[in-house]
């Protein structure tokens, strides 16, 4: 297994890009945010622990997150799997834990750069299908029918943590942690920065050049 870490603020497009690459290319997308939301939906102990932090826009404790990622890595048996890790690491201790897992070597860390005003616009306008998880945007990617998913007709909802107050908190936490992560991967010669303030298809083309 080789791992490509996707770094970037909430709303920088990591998840959107990773999801597209798993359909077009031989990548596996691991999103810690998606794993936690699914744990909340099924009411597991992990979900119960994570929910209060997530609703407030705060980070779930490192110990829990490192445990979750270690467990998940063991369920990926194919040694040639190429993993796109989205949402992890978010803190230096998480990055160090990942670096100490010989079964999941990090090949590259790609930082998605987007100006803050654009992040706020993207996050507060985001609407997600409660059924299949497809993501839309009120302005830049509206569904064909208001409030209804194009793919499965499920109901579109705003994630509780995409409200403006929580978005500002998430961005503040991101900014605090991110420079340490950038330094960590820069020192190892693994950091690649990408201008992610571009349309989805163009960003995907730039990303593929880096990944191939």
Query: C-beta of 145: minimal distance to ligand AMP in Å?
Result: 25
- Residues annotated as catalytic are 14, 90, 126, 159, 170
Q: Give the burial class of 66: count Cβ atoms within 10 A of its Cβ; 0-12 exposed, 13-18 middle, 19 or more buried.
A: buried
**Which range of residues in 88-96, 131-139, 191-199, 202-210 is near ligand AMP by CB under 6 A?**
88-96
List Cβ<8 Å contacts ≥24 apart for 94-98: 94/62, 94/65, 94/66, 94/69, 95/181, 95/184, 95/185, 96/184, 97/62, 97/66, 97/69, 97/70, 98/3, 98/5, 98/69
Binders of ligand AMP in range 5-24 (CB under 6 A):
10
State the Cα–Cα distance between residues 183 and 64, nearest whole angstrom: 24
Query: Residue 37: in which H helix or E strand, if any?
Result: helix 32-41
The answer to whether 53 contacts ligand AMP (rule: CB under 6 A) is yes
The answer to whether 167 contacts ligand AMP (rule: CB under 6 A) is no
Q: Is 16 helix (H, G, I), strand (E, B) or coil?
A: helix
Query: C-beta of 148: minimal distance to ligand AMP in Å?
Result: 23
The answer to whether 108 contacts ligand AMP (rule: CB under 6 A) is no
- Are 41 and 51 within 8 A, CB to CB? no
The answer to whether 90 contacts ligand AMP (rule: CB under 6 A) is yes
The answer to whether 114 contacts ligand AMP (rule: CB under 6 A) is no
Binder to ligand AMP among 33, 167, 184, 203 (CB under 6 A)? Answer: 33
Q: Which residue of this chain has its Cβ atom nearest to ligand AMP in the complex?
A: 33
Q: What residues make contact with ligand AMP under the rule CB under 6 A? A: 10, 32-33, 36, 53-54, 57-60, 65, 87-88, 90, 94, 161, 170
């Amino acid at each position: 297994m080789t791992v490509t870490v996707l770094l970037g603020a909430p709303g920088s497009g990591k998840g959107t890009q990773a999801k597209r690459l798993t359909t077009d290319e031989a990548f596996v997308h691991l999103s810690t945010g998606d794993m936690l939301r699914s744990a909340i939906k099924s009411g597991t102990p992990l979900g119960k622990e994570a929910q209060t932090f997530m609703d407030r826009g705060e980070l779930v404790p490192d110990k829990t997150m490192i445990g979750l990622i270690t467990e998940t890595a063991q369920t990926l048996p194919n040694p040639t799997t190429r993993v796109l890790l989205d949402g992890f690491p978010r803190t230096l201790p998480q990055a160090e834990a990942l670096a100490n897992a010989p079964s999941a070597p990090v090949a590259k860390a790609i930082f998605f750069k987007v100006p803050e005003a654009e992040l706020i616009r993207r996050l507060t306008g985001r609407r997600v299908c409660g059924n299949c998880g497809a993501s839309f945007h009120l302005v830049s990617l509206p569904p064909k029918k208001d409030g209804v998913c194009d793919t499965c007709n499920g109901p579109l909802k705003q994630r509780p943590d995409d409200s403006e107050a929580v978005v500002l908190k998430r961005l503040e936490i991101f900014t605090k942690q991110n420079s340490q992560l950038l330094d960590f991967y820069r020192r190892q010669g693994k950091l690649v920065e990408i201008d992610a303030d571009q349309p989805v298809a163009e960003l995907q083309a730039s990303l593929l050049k880096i990944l191939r």
